Amino acid sequence: AKQFLDRVEKPAVDRIEGVAPSVAIEQKNPTKSSRSTVGTATEVYDYLRLLWARVGTTHCPSCDRVVRPDTPASVADALEALPPGTRIVLGFPLETSAKVRHPTVVENLRALGFLRVQVGPTSFDLTAADATDPDALGVDLADVRDGLVVVDRLKAGAVERDRLVDSIQTAFTEGEGEAVAWLADGQVLRFTERFRCPDHPTVTFLEPTPRLFSFNNPYGSCPRCTGFGATLEYDPALIVPNPTRSRAEGAVDPWEKPRYDKERDRLRRFARAQRVALDMPWERLTQRFRKAVLNGTDGFEGVIPFLQSRESKRYKQYIRVFLRQYQTPKTCPACKGTRLRPEALRIRVAGWTIADAADRVVEELATWVRELDLPPMAAAVAATIQRELEARLSFL
């Protein structure tokens, strides 16, 4: 290290005893982001993100079903687990279009080798000569919205595995990744090769990756608060800091600035129209009038809408300073303070979301990591991550 130190003159002594050498180290704060936490600074959160990305299970927010792409083998396992003798109609959803008429639907299905359609509990045979006539068939397939093209009919426990898997694969292939099993008791089991819930196809899910769980990354952060967990909201207590004052005495602080003469005039006109005396202390005014002054009403822009309208000019420093006087941090209503986008909170490990883990004290999180019980395959994947987490948490 001598090459990095300035040369020091030799002291004017022959010998010094009992003085220990010392090294001075400059302390620097490694934190670069205002979003940083103890977890991110110690890399604990980085390993948590990796854990959730590798062994987390995605759940549907509507039905709590575990969401994972189905395979012919996994669907076969589910159907074989049904009570023996359960009658199953296996198929795929019938897709219809306003441009395609009933005869064309029937002919297309026949050409593909599918000769039966199920609508609710009723099955319709397409082999009949007059099946192209909706009146003769008993249903207009062009108008059906929840039909099932039958691939196979079978009984649980009474069919060979190979036949079952082949039928499921056919249903997935012809159904563009969607398969349906209709049971004799009316229960409908839906399966999908896509990463989505077959019962709630409009709910979106994202593949678990480490960046999905990062509130420092635009991909994973809450779009409302951008990963801070809080938003700046206008606070009535800051807008009217002294409610014992009247408007004439400067109760409404933002409009007391010299440049806002027009706003003060508008408030006076509004008060006259409402027959309210502005020399009365703010706290003695009616709640309805105070609410109208703050939030606005028909024909009158309130203080808060006025401040919000100035946000388009936040690029000016004096506007930013002016607005910040009346704002206070509030828990983000979108992410509830978790900082993450909704899709990240649909993924759990042992029943916890990553926000649950980040919210725990060190001792509780260390115990959870140490006692984490995972299926054998997931445990093997998570073993190294667990060791790193335990080491860092024990240090804290």
Please tell me the distance from the alpha carbon of residue 53 to that of residue 40, in angstroms, as a whole number. Answer: 16
Confidence of residue 235 (pLDDT cuts 50, 70, 90): very high
Segment among 26-30, 116-120, 254-258, 279-283 with least mean pLDDT: 26-30
DSSP assignment letter at 65 = P
Is 160 part of any domain?
yes
Helix (H) or strand (E) segment spanning residue 155: strand 147-155
- pLDDT given for residue 76 in this prediction: 93
Q: For 36-74, how does the pLDDT look when each residue is reduced to its tens digit (9 = 90+)?
A: 788 888 889 999 999 999 999 999 999 998 988 889 999
Residues 123 and 160 occupy one common structural domain: yes
Section 99-107 average pLDDT = 88
Its domain, for residue 369, covers 34-66+203-229+338-396
Confidence of residue 123 (pLDDT cuts 50, 70, 90): confident
Q: pTM for this structure?
A: 0.67
Q: For 363-373, how does the pLDDT look when each residue is reduced to its tens digit (9 = 90+)?
A: 999 999 999 99
Segment among 4-18, 27-41, 337-351 with least mean pLDDT: 27-41
- pLDDT given for residue 168 in this prediction: 94
> Which is more confidently placed, 32 or 338?
338
Indicate if the alpha-carbon torsion angle 32, 35, 37, 40 is positive or negative.
negative
- Is pLDDT of 315 > 80? yes
Please tell me the distance from the alpha carbon of residue 325 to that of residue 13, in angstroms, as a whole number. Answer: 62
- Is pLDDT of 35 > 80? no
Query: CB 81: neighbour CB atoms within 10 A?
Result: 10
Residues 120 and 156 occupy one common structural domain: yes
- Is pLDDT of 145 > 70? yes
Indicate if the alpha-carbon torsion angle 247, 252, 253, 256 is positive or negative.
negative
- pLDDT given for residue 303 in this prediction: 93
Give 12's contacts (C-beta < 8 A, 6+ positions apart). Answer: none
- pLDDT given for residue 1 in this prediction: 46
- Residue that finishes a domain, picked among 288, 312, 331: 331
Estimate to the nearest angstrom the gap between the alpha carbon of 265 and the chain centroid: 46
Residues 263 and 361 occupy one common structural domain: no
Section 261-276 average pLDDT = 90
DSSP assignment letter at 345 = G
Please tell me the distance from the alpha carbon of residue 81 to that of residue 183, in angstroms, as a whole number. Answer: 13
Q: For 297-311, how does the pLDDT look when each residue is reduced to its tens digit (9 = 90+)?
A: 988 999 999 999 999
Q: Are 223 and 95 in contact (CB under 8 A)?
A: no
Residues 225 and 342 occupy one common structural domain: yes
Indicate if the alpha-carbon torsion angle 50, 51, 52, 57 is positive or negative.
positive
- pLDDT given for residue 20 in this prediction: 76
What percent of the chain stands above pLDDT 70?
A: 95
Please tell me the distance from the alpha carbon of residue 77 to that of residue 189, in angstroms, as a whole number. Answer: 13
- pLDDT given for residue 146 in this prediction: 84
Residues 176 and 88 occupy one common structural domain: yes
Q: Are 90 and 168 in contact (CB under 8 A)?
A: yes
Please tell me the distance from the alpha carbon of residue 166 to that of residue 159, in angstroms, as a whole number. Answer: 12
> Which is more confidently placed, 345 or 16?
345
Which CATH number covers residue 320?
1.10.8.280
- Is pLDDT of 283 > 80? yes
Task: Name the residue type at position 260.
Answer: Y
Residues 257 and 113 occupy one common structural domain: no
- Is pLDDT of 3 > 60? no
- pLDDT given for residue 27 in this prediction: 62
Residues 302 and 220 occupy one common structural domain: no
| 198 phi and psi angles, rounded to 5 deg | -65, -25
Give helix then strand counts, H and E, for the chain: 14, 11
Confidence of residue 30 (pLDDT cuts 50, 70, 90): low
- pLDDT given for residue 341 in this prediction: 95
Rounded to the nearest integer, the mean pLDDT of the chain is 89
- pLDDT given for residue 5 in this prediction: 59
Residues 299 and 153 occupy one common structural domain: no
- Residue that finishes a domain, picked among 192, 220, 239: 192
- Is pLDDT of 4 > 80? no
Number of domains in the chain: 3
Residue 97: which of 133, 143, 65 has the closest Cα? 143
Which CATH number covers residue 349?
1.20.1580.10
β-partners of residue 281 are: 246
End-to-end C-alpha distance for the chain, whole angstroms: 31
β-partners of residue 149 are: 92, 117
